[in-house]
Copies of this chain bind each other. A is one copy, B any other.
Amino acid sequence: MEIKLVQKVMKVNDELAQGVRARLRAAGVACVNMMSAPGSGKTSLIEAALRHCGGSPRIGVIEGDPDTTLDAERVAACGAPVVQINTDGGCHLEANLVGRALGDLDLDALDILLIENVGNLVCPVAFDLGEDRRVAVVSVTEGHDKPAKYPKLFRGVDLVVLNKADLLPYVDFDMVFFRDTVRRLNPGVLILDVSCRTGDGVDAWVAWLRETAAVADKGKAG
């Protein structure tokens, strides 16, 4: 059986992403697309932000996973509005899924929307979700070579979070190699060392979210 496909997928996604962006901007809601390998701690970073930000900014969350609602349950337990998207095995989120999820969120009650993409260092990179900023999360246990091996992700992000920093004493992680690679791929990008277990670096992560939300709000006022 032959199925003829018209490959306008990317074009359609980009158009839908612009629609998502317009809706969020009209509501003054900043949007962050969080990408990482599976198990790097994206959900833990969201939980840490919710627990430490004292309600400012007001955070909403979209969780993307191939299966289960485990992450949405963790976020909901922190008291935040959350929508779980199951991709049924799909390897990345697309703008049409985000657009539909927006209907389940009260945008007027939010300052910032965190989208946790499917755990994958490759496929999500090509899909604009309507975000204002992109974050790459790497945990120290994954090794210092991840930016070198997956350069496309790291070239296009506004923040790199080096997570699980509390485990540095127990792993072979070459910090100089890691930082040099990130700087080479993305000169000037902010790198934050964070441990959600100890709380180290969470303040800086929350400060970055506040600054991101403030920029979106200023854009609305302008």
> Which A residues have a C-beta under 8 Å from some C-beta of B?
2-8, 37-40, 65-68, 70, 89-91, 118-123, 139, 141-143, 145-146, 148-152, 164, 166-167, 170-171
For A89, the chain B residues whose CB sits under 8 A away are 122, 152
Extra contacts besides A65-B149, A167-B167 (4): CB < 8 Å:
A4-B5, A38-B150, A39-B141, A141-B164
Give chain B nearest CB distance to A9 CB in angstroms: 10
A-B contacts, 12 of them at CB < 8 A, read A4-B5, A4-B6, A37-B142, A38-B150, A39-B146, A66-B150, A66-B151, A89-B122, A89-B152, A90-B122, A119-B121, A120-B123
Complex: A7 Cα to B5 Cα, angstroms: 7
> What residues on B are CB-neighbors of A118 within 8 Å?
122
Task: List 4 A-B pairs, minimum CB-CB distance, nearest first.
Answer: A39-B142, A91-B122, A141-B141, A37-B38
Contact check, B146 vs A38: say whether CB atoms are below 8 A apart: yes
A contacts with B: majority SS: loop
Neighbouring B residues of A123 by C-beta, 8 Å: 91, 120, 122-123
| A2, B67: Cα distance in complex, Å | 33
Inter-chain contact B4/A143, CB cutoff 8 Å = no
* Given known A120-B122, A141-B139, contact A38–B167 (CB-CB < 8 A): no
A136 to B169, CA, bound (A): 27
Q: In the complex, A139→B65 CA distance in Å?
A: 19
Contacts of A141 in B (CB 8 A): 39, 139, 141, 164, 167
Q: A2-B6, A5-B7, A6-B2 are in contact. Are A67 and B148 (CB under 8 A)?
A: yes
Report how far A171 CA is from B66 CA in the complex, Å: 24
Chain B residues near A38 (CB-CB < 8 A): 37, 121, 142, 146, 149-150
CA distance A123 to B66 in the complex (A): 11
A123 to B89, CA, bound (A): 9
* Docked pose: A196 CA to B10 CA in angstroms: 41
Say whether B4 contacts A149, CB under 8 Å.
no
Contact flag A8-B2 (CB < 8 Å), given A119-B121, A139-B141: yes
CA A143 to CA B146, docked complex, whole Å: 19
In the complex, what residues of B have CB within 8 A of residue A142's CB? 37-40
